[in-house]
Structure formats: C-alpha cells, structure tokens
Amino acid sequence: MLRLNNMYFTEDIAMLTQSDLFLAAAGFLSGLIKTGVGVGSGLVLLPTLALVFPAKVALGLGAPMLLASDIIGLHYYWKQWLPRRELTRLFLAIIPGLFIGIVLLPMIPGRAFRIGVGIFGALYALGMLWPQFPVTALLKKGVGKLNAHCGDSEEQNRKGAYFYGFLGGLSTVLAHAGGLVWSLYLLTAARDRRVFVGTTVILFFITNIYKTISYVWIDIISLSALAQVIPAIPMIFIGSYLGNIVNKRCNHLLFRKIVLCFIFFVSITLCV
C-alpha cells in the first residue's frame, strides 16, 4: 500500500506504475492549460493531484512539475520582464510571504487544507464563469479601489508592489495561487503583454525552486517522492507544445470555459 502519512512512496510495482501514469496525465493537462488558455496551471494541478494524493502531498508534487513548465516559459520570454529595479522591489516583498507560508503550512490540518483547496478552486472557477457572482463582484470592487489608490506615481507603485508581492508569496506557498495575486499588480505595472507574461514566468521560476526545496525540508514530500515526478516531465513539455497549438487554432473562449468547469467540479469533489 501507499504510505502517504510519512510521505514515502513504498508500494508495489503496479501501484507505482499507476501513480506514475496519473502524475504524467496531470502534468500533461497542466502544461496544456498553461500555454493553451492562460488559466493558472497550479489551480488545475493542485486539486487534480489531490483527488489521489493527500492535499499537502499534492501541493509538494506540484512545485517541481510547475517548475518544469517554467523552464519552457523562460525560453520564450527570457529578459522580457519588468526593469531590474521594479523586479527587485517585487521580489523583496515576495520573500517574507514565502517564509511565512512555509511556517504556517505544517500547522494546517490535512483535512482542513484539502477542503480549503476545494473551496478556493470552486470559488475561483465560479467567479470566472459567472462574473456577477457576489463574491467575484465584491473582490473586483475591492481590487479596483486598491489599484486606484496605488495609482501610477513612484510612491504608490511601490506600495502596490509590496502589498501584492507579499500576498502573492504567501498564496503561492499555500496553494500555488501566487500568479492570480501578482497579475493584479502587473495589470497596471506591466502594460505590455509580453512583459506581463515574462514577469510572471520569472516569478514562478524562482518561487517554484524555493517551494520545491522547502516542501522537502518541512517533510511535505520526500526526495523519493520527488523522483516520481520525473516521468511526468516529458508529458508537461508535450502538453505545453500542444497547448500553444490549441491557443492558436481552437476557440479560446470555449476551451477556457471547459477548463474552468473542470476546476469547479474537481474542487467540489475535494470538499465532499
């Protein structure tokens, strides 16, 4: 049987093969969505893996898988990010969030964490599918006021970088959701689309390295568990390649809605 309570995958050959296949399929789906629709692949990967693995183990396995897709992103968007001064400011704000997230994570009970992931994913998908959803409308109003307060001046822009940077660092450690938070800041800080994407890619790359190391350090996953991710990496690359084709040739809006419906139903399953 699979021993997940101490995060060591000591199981028979058949179960190893089954786990490898599931990780490969999840990696393929993550890569496909990341380049195909732009919806945060972490929001798809985490609840999907949590269907089979405990939520915290799924969180740990997701970091190196997301890191693999970040490498592809760096190839396409190398140095197409914010100026060094602004990027440094953002990273300085992210670092405390990363540390606090790693301290908080072991304190959250496994069952509560699983339900929390499910609720977050369901609300996110519902909000994107139904913009008039009360929670979504309230968040949009709050974000709009905050961005208006941040404005375009140097001082106000710095405040926005500190706030969104810290919150994104915390969110990415706890739920691979930092991209959602950082994008709220980048909507005003990075007007150019390629700079927007390039900045998120470098943020993901650095933070996913940190998360992978930290998850092992706090025993969320073990080094032997990380080895199970290796067979999924080629599938992540293939999914990313096909996602780029889907983005160019398929109905983007329809594909996005399908992905959001998938996130919603998987997230609801985690809450049961």
Distance in angstroms (rounded) separating the CA atoms of residues 92 and 86: 10
Alpha-carbon gap, residue 16 to 19, rounded angstroms? 5
Q: What is the pLDDT of residue 196?
A: 80
Owner of token pair 């909000």? 127
Collapsed DSSP state (helix, strand, coil) of residue 8:
strand
**Of the listed ranges 37-51, 191-205, 231-245, the one predicted with least confidence:** 37-51
The pLDDT, as a whole number, for residue 37 is: 61
Predicted confidence (pLDDT) per residue in 81-111, tens digit: 989 999 999 999 999 999 999 999 999 887 7
pLDDT per residue as tens digits for the range 20-74: 788 888 889 888 877 766 556 787 888 888 888 888 999 999 999 999 888 887 8
Is residue 37 helix, strand or coil? coil
Q: Which residue, 135, 108, 112, 54, is CA-closest to 271? A: 112
Instruction: Read off the amino acid at residue 196.
Output: F
Work out the pLDDT band at 7, boundaries 50, 70, 90. very low
C-alpha of 143 from chain center: 20
